[in-house]
Amino acid sequence: MNNTSLIADIEGYASVFHTRDMNGDIVAPGAFKASLARRASPVRMLYQHAADTPIGRWISFVEDRRGLFVRGEIILSSPKAREVHALLRGGALDGLSIGYQAAKARKGPLNGRRITEADLWEVSIVTFPMASEARITHIGPARECAQVFFGPPSQPAREGAHTENGSYSRPGRASGSPPTDVRHFADALRSAASIASTMTA
């Protein structure tokens, strides 16, 4: 029995600090720290923010001076994941976008918000990221990896831990509801259309 599967390494910036996105929002340094420390389920890796299209898993989160740097693995046993991987390797996709709830925010310039605490639910690979600098910096080739098997329900999941370099990783099981704030290009288009309609009404 073959206990290996094909995966591909991926990394990049899911969010960039001090940079206004297409909705006018700015994420402050440290905004994700509390969320990553307390989450009971992992931050999901989705494609285009579709909850029914998980394509891998995020395994590391680091808040550095630039933003939230993420590392993960695309699981190539999924046909959609193989398609996305091919597009990434071919240069047709390179965007990252976050789905979250703003826990603490205040009004910022240009009708946007300055978000100081965000409950992060998922990070998606997208065509058009809301934050133009939220990009994938590395996508690896397919490689073999030992399959991961989860213990029986009676065996509690191991708690994640912060490391000295500021990273955080946590295994876990799916739970909860999808986020209400999704930093996606389509949101900006809808917002712009709404503003335009009020100006012409």
Catalytic residues: 49, 97, 122
Q: Tell me the two tokens of residue 27.
A: 């994420």
Q: Return the C-alpha torsion angle 26, 115, 183, 47, nearest 10.
A: 120
Q: How many Cβ atoms are within 10 Å of 86's Cβ, its own excluded?
A: 13
**Closest-CA residue to 70 (of 200, 192, 167, 199):** 167
Letter for the amino acid at 161?
A
Residue count of the chain, please give it.
201
Helices (H), 2-156: 33-38, 79-89
Could you give the CA distance from residue 56 to residue 76 in angstroms, rounded to a whole number? 8
Q: Which residues pair with 138 in a beta bridge?
A: 11
Place of tokens 């703003």: 102
